[in-house]
Copies of this chain bind each other. A is one copy, B any other.
Amino acid sequence: MSADPAIRRDIPDATVARLPEYLRALSDVADRGISSVSSEELAQAAGVRSTQLRKDLSHLGSYGIRGVGYEVEHLALEISRALGLTQDWPVAIVGMGNLGRALAAYSGFATGGFHVAAVFDEDAALAGALVADLPISPMTDLALLVRERGITIGVIATPAASAQSVCNALVEAGVRSLLNFAPLVLVVPDDVDVRRVDLSTELHVLAFHEQRKSLPPELGVAR
């Protein structure tokens, strides 16, 4: 029997991408003092359809009560467990420009599952300066601090020009999950996961849709 809820197998990527949103929606609901929600209500708060939500949750297990809904606390715990948020992940941020500082100060790190364990900058002159109560470390200390503090997730907030070498240093030090804010595609070994966040990509996509809206209403394209 694989009744052990800790044994999770092949959750679709699309589902994983939505679980954080469900978690956030649940925390909203909990803040309003509600202890049980239907898939319909929760889906609304998360911006998806209720069938989508139920199908997604079915990949984790059967945590709802038929005819009633989901127990808020319990579901939140199960999603946290599935995402691996029952432990606290130490994160390193490299690049202390405007963005890096904003990220270091970001409260999202504090709430649930993550903390900034070290911050770095290639400019050795910045070493020692405090950012969000942490001293900026020089890149030469990277391998040491990654090991000492058990860092497994790295955030790259450097200019594009140095992003690949920073990435190499992180991977070399043993980091296998990266969040890349630099506008380029990083080359990494197969066992390293990279997620990219690119403001300019997002703006481009918006521009595309905006352009569509301002075009004369061409036949066929009904929107």
Contact = CB atoms under 8 A, between A and B. Distances in A.
Interface of A: 7, 9-11, 16-17, 19-21, 23-25, 28, 45-47, 82-85, 89, 91, 97-99, 101-103, 105-106, 108-109, 111-114, 152-153, 176-179, 183-185, 191, 193, 195, 197-214, 218, 220-221
A152 B213 CA distance: 11
7 contacts: A20-B204, A98-B102, A106-B199, A152-B214, A153-B206, A193-B210, A197-B199
Contacts of A204: 19-20, 23, 83, 85, 113
B108 A98 contact: no
A199 B102 CA distance: 11
A185 B45 contact: yes
A63 B140 CA distance: 47
Q: Which 5 A-B pairs have the closest CB atoms?
A: A84-B211, A98-B102, A47-B185, A20-B204, A108-B200
Nearest to A183: B24
Nearest to A19: B204
Contacts of A153: 203, 206-207, 210
A108 to B, nearest CB: 4
Given A102-B99, A199-B197, A218-B7, A113 B20 contact: no
